[in-house]
Amino acid sequence: MFNLVVEMNTQKIRKDFPVLEKGIIYMDSACVSLKPQQVVKAMNCYYNEFPACAGRSMHKLGEKVTEEVSKARKIIAKFFNAKPNEIVFTKNTTESINLVANSLGLKKGDKVITTDKEHNSNLLPWQNLAKRGIIHEIIKSNEDNTFNMDKFKEKIKGAKLVSMVHTSNLDGVTIPAEEIIKIAHEHGALVLLDAAQSVPHKEINVKKLDVDFLACSGHKMLGPSGTGILYGKYHLLEKLEPFLIGGDTVIDTTYTTAEFEKPPEKFEAGLQNYAGIIGLAEAARYLMKIGRKNISKHETELNKKITNELLKIDGIKIIGPEDPELRSGIISFNYKDADPHEIALLLDSSADIMVRSGAHCVHSWFNAHNLKGSARVSLYIYNTEEECDKLIEEINKIVEL
């Protein structure tokens, strides 16, 4: 069945995800996405055909791994319109953000700005540096949880770094990154985007955006877990001190000195997750083939359908703006004072519908709003209108209970 709104053949896509044959309705992709068989095959290919080490061994298998990792870096660079040497492979978004936080050389009195909706991964590194004297300032969102540009313009003066969640995993809202980056640069501040929730769903052109650093995770974009990316402008990566050091980060050492590699190698310490990197590149290729604009449209259409029905139910409160066009593929909601975990468990036990519940690692926001958490539906390329109908039917049953 072709989705009428966009050129995306959802039924054909679904065949690439064997786990869907179990009849499950997977709506937890903001946590971890499913993996298409193409990604699994690419990873198995490494293990079955050239399970060796890149960049060290001269033999045929070693050479093959080096070549495949280099190819993977080029594909990821193309995915972001970056240069291959601006792509650092990490373990996940968390590691990418920690790398910047610990390598940028921020000093006592330097100001870092975040939003009030940061994932713990983009909160704790700055809280930690604040203990050593950096100033961490938070921009409070508007009433509807959208970005408050006026407050940002007030706080940006004197900032060294703006580190913000691009698309929020709490409510799906995307900040106006292009404008934020322009203003930050006019004030001499660098910008790091936590793009864990935007990269899987939106086309991101780092050159057009002019972003300085961008962090994301493979496991949310159809790729393997344990893989992540840090994009950085090359001249900035050159200035960063490596955060993890050891094998593969150096050209030469004596007992007392070390000559470091250039970026990105100087940041990729120790033997890498080669199968993961190769799988991640395959995931990027898969997403490019479908077209990220089509993905965004598909998710928004499904979100509209769910939102329209949910808002008909008395007592349902959606976190963030009610307009689904502003929440990408995420619907985070509460029903009166029902426990969100109970809603998630009932959906799972009654209809194999998998959603996330709790604080989604944004405890700080929930604590500030005196809420325990929410139930969160998050959509992706394999979700269908029929699945959305089933979700609404089941939520209505829960409400009747």
Ligand X SMILES: Cc1ncc(COP(=O)(O)O)c(C=O)c1O
Contact set with ligand X (CB under 6 A)? 92-94, 119, 121-122, 165, 169, 194, 196-197, 217, 361
* 206 vs 77: CA distance, rounded Å: 10
Question: Closer CB to ligand X, residue 300 or residue 332?
Answer: 332
DSSP code for 84: G
Beta carbon of residue 59, minimum distance to ligand X (angstroms, whole number): 34
Beta carbon of residue 146, minimum distance to ligand X (angstroms, whole number): 16
> Are 30 and 376 a contacting pair, CB within 8 Å?
yes
**Which residues are within 8 A (CB) of 213 and not within 5 positions of it... i.e. 6 or more apart?**
96, 100, 190, 191, 192, 193, 230, 231, 232, 233, 236
Question: Closer CB to ligand X, residue 194 or residue 282?
Answer: 194
Catalytic residue numbers?
A: 361
Q: Which helix (H) or strand (E) holds 175?
A: none
Q: Where are the alpha helices (DSSP H) in 206-334?
A: 206-209, 234-239, 274-290, 292-310
Beta carbon of residue 216, minimum distance to ligand X (angstroms, whole number): 8
Question: Closer CB to ligand X, residue 94 or residue 328?
Answer: 94
**Which residues are within 8 A (CB) of 397 and not within 5 positions of it... i.e. 6 or more apart?**
350
Rg of the chain on CA atoms, in Å: 22
> Are 287 and 221 a contacting pair, CB within 8 Å?
yes
Beta carbon of residue 93, minimum distance to ligand X (angstroms, whole number): 4
Question: Closer CB to ligand X, residue 171 or residue 394?
Answer: 171
